[in-house]
């Protein structure tokens, strides 16, 4: 990529960047959250959301309102926006968008395979799939019995195909293998995305690389945390870590040897970025979970992405922020509908 | 006119609405559109307000109505729009209406659901028949061409259709057939190939007629396919793939008889379904027709109801909950109307205690209301686009009515063009009640809204066109030119006069290309042309030089008069706001500054016009040089315009120089002196608070909560007062900035008015070019076919005149006129920091319900 993107960035992507910045301004404010938390019923939530940028997106829903209805409508709204961006994008931004959808596609594929394993009907699971990661071949996923089958028959023409190179095997797909498949897919996906951003250069690389590095490291930590007490061997575990993060290579090697949370924390202590995060984690009762801390950090990075101009990171950041906002609303709505108000304040504020 | 000069006097009124009658009262108010409500519950979030339940109900009703409108539109039933808008429904009727609508919705949903089901069924059956028809040909083809089947023993070839016979290597031959969306065929086939590794045979053909997609209702092309495969497992996979691509799979008949049977069965079922569907549709239509009659009034009623509850949400309750208190802004002139509306509302609801109101004094600035009619509206909009006037400030719109079209016309001066524009505007004005004009879109709407502006602009352009003597760039000789060419010939003069005059004779006229008329020769110039520029200038080669000098001086004179007028309007503002010191310390120095420099310039221009004649023109001094010399005090004496000029100029300069420090320091120092001395100013203030307290006591009789509120207000007032701390530095800074801006502005703004000259020059030149390039060329062809040529030439001339000269040039002159008003004129006196008075009026609700509901 040539230097000086600011000279011609706007020719191709100026409209979309302007649009996404406008969309970002419509994220809920702190005041909105304060009002939402005060709501007594889901109807109240609906009325308050009407005064925000969501508008009357729930107007055509018949009573009674449920959390899942709110969730699907919000997802639909995000999806509409995303589709609009994508339909109006030019290369290489459209490739960037494709990369963004890949992670949702992986999730959907895994979800469907898990569903097939539990003998649930495809339609039932289809509803739960994220609309951003929807593709036609998706529903045929349960034909396959082994990963290579899956690749050859179903996914060879989808954008997911290149990520399969590491996980071609003839193992039957049981629960563990599916989980391994997911992590391997995700690993190669992240690495490919990272490479794409790095090659693109310019501000996009400067913004996106740290975000993706963080994403990779977060996965490494989470994989480690989840593998404690399972039959996953340490070598296998190491093969699942995405190698594009800050932890690579030393940290990942150490992480692979970790056996409990304290050892993990000790690995994180070597890194200035992750040390404060692990320190913020509360122990046992009351404090924040590691996941929440990671989410907060992610939100922070995404918000900062808007401080620079002429790069693609804003689209990624906006989608992620919107997702976080949806998670927050769902959390608040869940708390309200289950009359469980004590934890209602533990949403992740978007600055 | 009085109301256009200043915005109307407003007062803050408190309405005490008995909770039983509040709805009716607001309904009456909304019909009249008298008052603007203030939100008294600003810190209560929207879902915690009192009438949130009612608003929710309205939303529910709106949802149902939207559904009804959607269904009615889908059935292509015309929606009658009522002429009059029905009043908000009485509360008793609301429940009835709601029940009625809900019943209608349930019924409608059921019927449409049934209808959809039937339709889907029908579609499926139709698809099935199509499939059967098409696949029959497949099989024949298969028999003829497919080599696969040749592997079978020839004996079995005849009974190919017999499913049970087809066994090979222990696997069954199976068929899956159905319809698939056109766009998915390719991917579908690929996927089949990959999954089944070629153990299937797919044949497909396009269906000739497009069918409706039962899920989306779109009419699209379909393909019929037939997959033959061996083996159970592959069969499962094939079925899954079919599911994945949303194919419509139908059972495939194995024998010819079966096929025939099915087809016959299908045909009868399709017939049955058709009749049932028809009946359902008829019924649905009936229901919808009945609903369509009342849907318009319902939509309006619900909108009004929702608006009322939104307003009620802004009111606060008193302690006993029996009474709603609303605070409204109301024009003082409309107070009795407001009282009557409240009485009406109370009477309608039959309440025992009437709702009433009383005015309360306030320190807050009220919103600005300037009543306009269809004529003044456009001009007011021009001013409001810059900024809504502060409360009770002088409204420039009144003067804009004349100055705007005039300044426009100075730039657009052409008799012909102006007349065309006038005719167009007149057409709009005469037909202003035409419904198509009222509902026109975008650009046409813009013209329509500004029709009166256009009318005046056209009229004034005719006038300035007469002054410039320009009609499509040609001059009109109405009164006969004041110049006489024949007087220049030497033969017409006695020999004695010949000495110091350059006269013409035949040889001179024949030889020289350019000759100059000399006005000092007797008889050549017989006096000025009665109106405007003498048409003889149209022939002169030095026409531009003459016109430039004239137009430049004219624009400077007009500009300075315009600006001075602005400063004088500022005096009216100061008088009205009781800030007399501002007149002496700001307006008068400003006026002196302007008049001593630029007023004197005008004086010099006019003086030179009056005093110097053709004979003395050689000794006339240049105004530019004189004006510059006024500031430079040159050592060498020039002869000047008049005797004693030097002293007058010195005096003017001294006055100018003295007015500058007054302008800079006068107001801040005076305020400082007031602040330290605390003379008359403080007394009037305490008097004011006394009045306030009295009226608050009155208010407090009415309810204990009011007292609290009153107290709050008093506290607020105190806080405001303490906030008004005297900050000398700040006042000084603002005044200095204002003064610098004004002094520099005087010069730059005067220069800015030169755009009047520049644009009128451009306009005249452009129309001149158009004439010489087109019509003159056309007229020059003097053969017989030249007449034919003239026709397209004139047509082109007309088109270019309209698009370039009228629309494009007109737009540019319009923009420049706007700028002259906004920047040069209004910044002399207009603050424009007000908020517009937005009354609670049902008329502001959009009456076009189809747009926002569809």
Asked if the C-beta of A143 comes within 8 angstroms of chain B's C-beta atoms, the answer is: yes
Asked if the C-beta of B191 comes within 8 angstroms of chain A's C-beta atoms, the answer is: yes
With the C-alpha atoms ordered B787, B791, B792, B793, is the resulting torsion angle positive or negative?
A: positive
Tell me the shortest Cα–Cα distance from A281 to chain B, in angstroms.
34
pLDDT greater than 50 at residue B686:
no
Alpha-helical (H) ranges within B313-441 are 335-349, 377-386, 397-411, 415-430, 435-438
Please indicate whether, in this complex, the C-beta atoms of B187 and A136 are within 8 angstroms of each other. Answer: yes
Residue B493 tokens read as 């003069």
Residue closest to B176 by CA, chosen among B282, B254, B123, B244: B254
Tell me the shortest Cα–Cα distance from B79 to chain A, in angstroms.
22
Asked if the C-beta of A59 comes within 8 angstroms of chain B's C-beta atoms, the answer is: yes
Residue B633 tokens read as 């005090």
**Alpha-carbon span B410 to B453, nearest angstrom:** 15
Give the containing element (helix H, strand E) for B544: helix B543-576
Of A238-247, A304-313, B531-540, B715-724, the range with the lowest mean pLDDT is B715-724
- pLDDT tens string B339-378: 888 888 888 777 777 777 888 888 888 899 888 888 999 9
Tell me the shortest Cα–Cα distance from B48 to chain A, in angstroms.
8
Please indicate whether, in this complex, the C-beta atoms of A59 and B194 are within 8 angstroms of each other. Answer: no
Asked if the C-beta of A47 comes within 8 angstroms of chain B's C-beta atoms, the answer is: yes
Residue closest to B60 by CA, chosen among B108, B107, B101, B23: B101
Among chain A residues, CA nearest to B245: A136
Query: CB neighbours of B503 closer than 8 A, spacing ≥ 6?
Result: B488, B489, B490, B493, B521
**Average predicted confidence (pLDDT) for chain B:** 81
Q: Where are the domains of chain A?
A: 11-167+174-338
**Alpha-carbon span A293 to A277, nearest angstrom:** 6
Residue closest to A271 by CA, chosen among A251, A294, A242, A255: A251
**Alpha-carbon span B287 to B75, nearest angstrom:** 11
SS (H, E, C) chain A: CCCCHHHHHHHHHHHHHHHHHHHHHCCCCHHHHHHHHCCCCHHHHHHHHHHCCCCCCCCCCCCCCCHHHHHHHHHHHHHHHHHHHHHCCCCCHHHHHHHHHHHHHHHHHHHHHHHHHCCCCHHHHHCCCCHHHCCHHHHHHHHCCCHHHHHHHHHCCCCCHHHHHHCCCCCCCCHHHHHHHHHHHHHHHHHHHHHHHHHHCHHHHHHHHHHHHHHHHHHHHHHHHHHCCCCCCHHHHHHHCCCCCCCCCHHHHHHHHCCCHHHHHHHHHCCCCCHHHHHHECCCCCCECHHHHHHHHHHHHHHHHCCCCCCCHHHHHHHHHHHHHHHHHHHHHHHHHCCCHHHCCCCCCCC
Asked if the C-beta of B852 comes within 8 angstroms of chain A's C-beta atoms, the answer is: no
- Contact list in B for residue A43 (CB cut-off 8 A) is 47, 56
Please indicate whether, in this complex, the C-beta atoms of B45 and A48 are within 8 angstroms of each other. Answer: yes
Most confident of A315-329, B219-233, B639-653, B665-679: A315-329
Instruction: Give how far Cα B334 sits from Cα of A298, B69, B358, Å.
Output: 59, 39, 13
Which of A143, A145, A158, A333 is the best substitution to test chain B (most B C-beta atoms within 10 A)?
A143
Chain B 214-253, residues with CB within 8 Å of chain A CB atoms = 237, 240-241, 243-245
Please indicate whether, in this complex, the C-beta atoms of B195 and A143 are within 8 angstroms of each other. Answer: yes
- Contact list in B for residue A123 (CB cut-off 8 A) is none
8 A C-beta contact, residue B4 and residue B370:
yes
Residue closest to A332 by CA, chosen among A78, A12, A9, A41: A41
Tell me the shortest Cα–Cα distance from A59 to chain B, in angstroms.
7
User: What is the band of B659 on the pLDDT scale with cuts at 50, 70, 90?
Assistant: very high
Tell me the shortest Cα–Cα distance from B219 to chain A, in angstroms.
21
**Alpha-carbon span B81 to B587, nearest angstrom:** 57
Please indicate whether, in this complex, the C-beta atoms of A153 and B194 are within 8 angstroms of each other. Answer: yes
8 A C-beta contact, residue B400 and residue B821:
yes
**Alpha-carbon span A97 to A87, nearest angstrom:** 10
8 A C-beta contact, residue B821 and residue B382:
yes
**Alpha-carbon span B427 to B414, nearest angstrom:** 20
Please indicate whether, in this complex, the C-beta atoms of A47 and B63 are within 8 angstroms of each other. Answer: no
Most confident of A310-319, B9-18, B24-33: A310-319
Please indicate whether, in this complex, the C-beta atoms of A157 and B237 are within 8 angstroms of each other. Answer: no
Alpha-helical (H) ranges within B7-90 are 22-32, 52-74
Question: In this prediction, what percent of chain B has a pLDDT beyond 70?
Answer: 86
- pTM (two decimals): 0.70
Residue closest to A81 by CA, chosen among A321, A307, A327, A304: A321
B264: number of CA atoms within 13 Å, CB side?
Answer: 5
- What are the CB-based long-range contacts (under 8 Å, 24+) for B601-605? B601/B556, B601/B560, B601/B627, B602/B556, B602/B557, B602/B560, B604/B641, B605/B553, B605/B556, B605/B557
8 A C-beta contact, residue B826 and residue B562:
no
CA–chain centroid gap for B779, Å, is: 44
- pLDDT tens string B236-277: 778 878 877 778 888 877 777 888 888 888 888 888 888 888
- pLDDT tens string A2-15: 556 677 888 888 89
Please indicate whether, in this complex, the C-beta atoms of B244 and A156 are within 8 angstroms of each other. Answer: no
Asked if the C-beta of B714 comes within 8 angstroms of chain A's C-beta atoms, the answer is: no
Q: In this prediction, does ipTM exceed 0.85?
A: no
pLDDT greater than 60 at residue B483:
yes
- Contact list in B for residue A153 (CB cut-off 8 A) is 191, 194-195
- pLDDT tens string A32-68: 888 888 888 888 888 888 888 887 777 767 667 888 8
Q: Would you tell me the crossing angle of helices A313-337 and A42-51 to the nearest 10 degrees?
A: 150
Segment B142-147 shows an average pLDDT of 46
Site of tokens 């005041």: A31
Which of A51, A139, A150 is the best substitution to test chain B (most B C-beta atoms within 10 A)?
A139
Residue closest to B196 by CA, chosen among B234, B148, B239, B241: B234
Of residues A118 and B770, more confidently modeled: B770
Among chain A residues, CA nearest to B197: A153
Asked if the C-beta of B59 comes within 8 angstroms of chain A's C-beta atoms, the answer is: yes
Please indicate whether, in this complex, the C-beta atoms of B191 and A140 are within 8 angstroms of each other. Answer: yes
Asked if the C-beta of A185 comes within 8 angstroms of chain B's C-beta atoms, the answer is: no
Residue-level pLDDT at B139: 64
Residue B678 tokens read as 């605390």
Residue-level pLDDT at B151: 42
Please indicate whether, in this complex, the C-beta atoms of A140 and B241 are within 8 angstroms of each other. Answer: yes
**Alpha-carbon span A2 to A312, nearest angstrom:** 15
8 A C-beta contact, residue B608 and residue B631:
no
- pLDDT tens string B601-616: 999 999 999 988 888 8
Residue-level pLDDT at B683: 41
Instruction: Give how far Cα B380 sits from Cα of A57, B403, B829, Å.
Output: 38, 13, 16
Residue closest to A338 by CA, chosen among A66, A46, A70: A66
B146: number of CA atoms within 13 Å, CB side?
Answer: 17
User: What is the band of B700 on the pLDDT scale with cuts at 50, 70, 90?
Assistant: very low
- Contact list in B for residue A35 (CB cut-off 8 A) is 45, 47
Give the containing element (helix H, strand E) for B84: none
For chain B, the C-alpha Rg in angstroms (whole number) is: 43
Asked if the C-beta of A140 comes within 8 angstroms of chain B's C-beta atoms, the answer is: yes
**Alpha-carbon span B821 to B773, nearest angstrom:** 36
The number of residues in chain A equals 351
CA–chain centroid gap for B283, Å, is: 45
Report which DSSP code applies to B394: B
pLDDT greater than 90 at residue B426:
yes
Asked if the C-beta of A44 comes within 8 angstroms of chain B's C-beta atoms, the answer is: yes
Residue B295 tokens read as 């849907």
**Alpha-carbon span A88 to B309, nearest angstrom:** 42
Residue closest to B68 by CA, chosen among B18, B119, B103: B103
Which of B42, B45, B852 is the best substitution to test chain A (most A C-beta atoms within 10 A)?
B45
Give the containing element (helix H, strand E) for B662: helix B645-677
Burial A85-97, CB ≥16 within 10 A → b, else e: bbeebeebbeebb
- pLDDT tens string B385-413: 999 989 889 999 999 999 999 999 999 99
B126: number of CA atoms within 13 Å, CB side?
Answer: 18
- Contact list in A for residue B45 (CB cut-off 8 A) is 35, 38, 48
B538: number of CA atoms within 13 Å, CB side?
Answer: 18
Segment B310-330 shows an average pLDDT of 82
- Contact list in A for residue B192 (CB cut-off 8 A) is none
Please indicate whether, in this complex, the C-beta atoms of B240 and A143 are within 8 angstroms of each other. Answer: yes
The number of residues in chain B equals 854
Residue-level pLDDT at B161: 43
**Alpha-carbon span B588 to A4, nearest angstrom:** 57
């Amino acid at each position: 990529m040539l230097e000086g993107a600011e000279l011609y960035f706007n020719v191709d992507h100026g409209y979309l960047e302007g649009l996404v910045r406008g969309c970002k301004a419509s994220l809920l404010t702190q005041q909105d959250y304060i009002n939402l938390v005060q709501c007594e019923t889901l109807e109240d939530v609906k009325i308050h959301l009407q005064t925000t940028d969501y508008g009357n997106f729930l107007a055509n829903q018949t009573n009674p309102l449920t959390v899942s209805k709110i969730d699907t409508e919000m997802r639909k709204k995000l999806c509409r926006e995303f589709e609009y961006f994508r339909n109006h994008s030019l290369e290489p931004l459209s490739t960037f968008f494709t990369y963004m959808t890949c992670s949702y596609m992986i999730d959907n594929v895994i979800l469907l395979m898990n569903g097939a394993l539990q003998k649930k009907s495809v339609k039932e699971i289809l509803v739960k799939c994220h609309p951003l990661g929807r593709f036609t071949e998706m529903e045929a996923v349960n034909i396959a019995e082994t990963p290579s089958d899956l690749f050859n028959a179903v996914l060879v023409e989808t954008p997911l195909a290149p990520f399969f190179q590491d996980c071609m095997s003839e193992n039957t797909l049981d629960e563990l293998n599916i989980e391994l498949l997911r992590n391997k897919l995700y690993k190669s996906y992240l690495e490919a995305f990272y490479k794409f951003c790095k090659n693109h250069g310019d501000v996009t690389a400067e913004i996106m690389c740290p975000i993706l590095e963080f994403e990779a490291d977060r996965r490494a930590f989470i994989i480690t945390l989840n593998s404690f007490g399972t039959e996953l061997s340490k070598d296998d575990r190491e093969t699942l870590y995405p190698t594009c993060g800050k932890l690579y290579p030393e940290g990942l090697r150490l992480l692979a040897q970790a056996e409990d949370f304290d050892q993990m924390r000790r690995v994180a202590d070597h890194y200035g970025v992750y040390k404060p995060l692990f320190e913020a984690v509360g122990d046992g009762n009351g404090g924040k979970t590691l996941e929440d801390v990671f989410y907060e950090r992610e939100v922070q990075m995404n918000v900062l992405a808007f401080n620079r101009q002429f790069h693609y990171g804003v689209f990624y950041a906006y989608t992620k922020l919107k997702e976080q906002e949806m998670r927050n609303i769902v959390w608040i709505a869940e708390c309200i509908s289950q009359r469980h108000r004590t934890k209602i304040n533990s949403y992740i504020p978007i600055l | 006119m009085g109301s256009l000069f200043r915005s109307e006097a407003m007062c803050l009124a408190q309405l005490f609405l008995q909770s039983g009658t509040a709805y009716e009262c607001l309904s009456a108010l909304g019909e009249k559109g008298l008052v603007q409500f203030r939100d008294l519950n600003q810190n209560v979030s929207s879902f915690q307000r009192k009438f949130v339940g009612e608003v929710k109900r309205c939303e529910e009703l709106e949802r149902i109505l939207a559904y009804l409108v959607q269904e009615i539109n889908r059935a292509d039933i015309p929606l009658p729009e009522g002429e009059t808008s029905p009043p908000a429904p009485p509360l008793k009727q609301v429940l009835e209406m709601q029940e009625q609508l809900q019943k209608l919705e349930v019924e409608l949903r059921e019927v449409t659901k049934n209808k959809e089901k039937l339709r889907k069924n029908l579609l499926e059956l139709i698809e099935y028949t199509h499939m059967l028809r098409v696949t029959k040909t497949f099989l024949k083809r298969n028999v003829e061409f497919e080599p696969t089947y040749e592997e079978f023993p020839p004996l079995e070839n005849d009974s190919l259709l017999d499913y049970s016979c087809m066994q090979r290597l222990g696997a069954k031959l199976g068929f899956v057939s159905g319809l698939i969306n056109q766009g998915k065929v390719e991917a579908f086939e690929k996927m089949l190939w990959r999954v089944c590794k070629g153990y299937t045979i797919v044949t497909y053909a396009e269906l000739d007629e497009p069918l409706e997609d039962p899920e989306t209702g779109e009419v699209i092309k379909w393909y019929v396919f037939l997959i033959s495969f061996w083996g159970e497992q592959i069969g499962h996979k094939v079925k899954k793939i079919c599911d994945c691509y949303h194919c419509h799979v139908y059972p495939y008949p194995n024998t010819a008889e079966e096929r025939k049977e099915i087809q016959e069965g299908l045909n009868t079922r399709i017939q049955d379904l058709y009749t049932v569907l028809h009946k359902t549709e008829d019924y649905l239509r009936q229901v919808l027709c009945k609903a369509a009659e009342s849907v318009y009034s319902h939509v309006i009623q619900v909108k009004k109801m929702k608006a009322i509850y939104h307003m009620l949400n802004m009111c606060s309750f008193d302690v006993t909950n029996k009474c709603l208190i609303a605070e409204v802004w109301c024009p003082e002139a409309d107070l009795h109307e407001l009282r009557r509306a409240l009485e009406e509302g109370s009477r309608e609801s039959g309440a025992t205690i009437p709702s009433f109101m009383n005015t309360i004094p306030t320190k807050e600035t009220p919103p600005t209301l300037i009543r306009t009619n269809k004529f003044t509206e456009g001009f007011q909009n021009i001013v409001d686009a810059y900024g809504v006037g502060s409360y009770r400030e002088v409204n420039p719109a009144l003067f804009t009515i004349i100055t705007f079209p005039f300044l426009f016309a100075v730039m657009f001066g052409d008799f012909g063009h102006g007349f065309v524009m006038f005719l167009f505007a007149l057409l709009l004005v005469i037909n202003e009640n035409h419904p198509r004009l009222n509902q026109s879109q975008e650009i046409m709407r813009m013209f329509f809204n500004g029709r009166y502006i256009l009318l005046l602009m056209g009229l004034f352009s005719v006038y300035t066109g007469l002054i410039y003597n320009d009609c499509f760039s040609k001059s009109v000789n109405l009164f006969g030119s004041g110049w006489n060419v024949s007087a220049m010939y030497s033969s017409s003069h006695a020999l004695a006069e010949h000495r110091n005059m350059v006269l013409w004779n035949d040889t001179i006229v024949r030889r020289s290309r350019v000759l100059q008329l000399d006005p000092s020769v007797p008889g050549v110039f017989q006096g000025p042309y009665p109106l405007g520029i003498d048409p003889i200038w149209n022939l002169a080669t030095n026409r531009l030089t003459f016109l430039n000098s004239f137009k430049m001086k004219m624009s400077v004179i007009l500009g300075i008069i315009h600006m001075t007028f602005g400063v004088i309007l500022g005096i009216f503002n100061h008088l009205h706001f009781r800030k007399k010191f501002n007149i002496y310390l700001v307006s008068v120095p400003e006026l002196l500054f302007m008049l001593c420099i630029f007023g004197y310039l005008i004086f010099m221009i006019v003086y030179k016009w009056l005093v110097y004649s053709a004979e003395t023109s050689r000794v006339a001094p240049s105004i530019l040089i004189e004006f510059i010399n006024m500031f430079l005090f040159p050592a060498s004496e020039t002869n000047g315009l008049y005797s004693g000029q030097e002293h007058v100029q010195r005096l003017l300069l001294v006055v100018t120089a003295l007015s500058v420090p007054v302008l800079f320091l006068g107001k801040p120092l005076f305020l400082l002196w007031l602040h330290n001395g605390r003379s008359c100013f403080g007394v009037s203030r305490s008097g004011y608070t006394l009045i306030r307290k009295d009226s608050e006591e009155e208010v407090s009789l009415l309810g204990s909560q009011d007292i609290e509120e009153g107290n709050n207000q008093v506290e607020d007032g105190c806080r405001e007062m303490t906030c008004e701390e005297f900050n000398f530095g700040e006042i000084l800074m603002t005044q200095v900035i204002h003064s610098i801006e004004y002094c520099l502005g005087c010069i730059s703004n005067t220069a800015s008015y030169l755009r009047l000259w520049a644009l009128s020059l451009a306009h005249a030149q452009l129309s001149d070019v158009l004439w010489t390039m087109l019509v003159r060329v056309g007229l020059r062809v003097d053969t017989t076919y030249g007449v034919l040529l003239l026709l397209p030439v004139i047509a082109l001339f007309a088109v270019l005149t309209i698009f370039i000269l009228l629309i494009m040039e007109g737009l540019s002159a319009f923009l420049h006129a706007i700028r002259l008003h906004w920047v040069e004129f209004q910044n002399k006196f207009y603050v424009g920091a007000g908020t517009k008075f937005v009354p609670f009026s049902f008329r502001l609700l959009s009456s076009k319900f189809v747009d926002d509901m569809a």
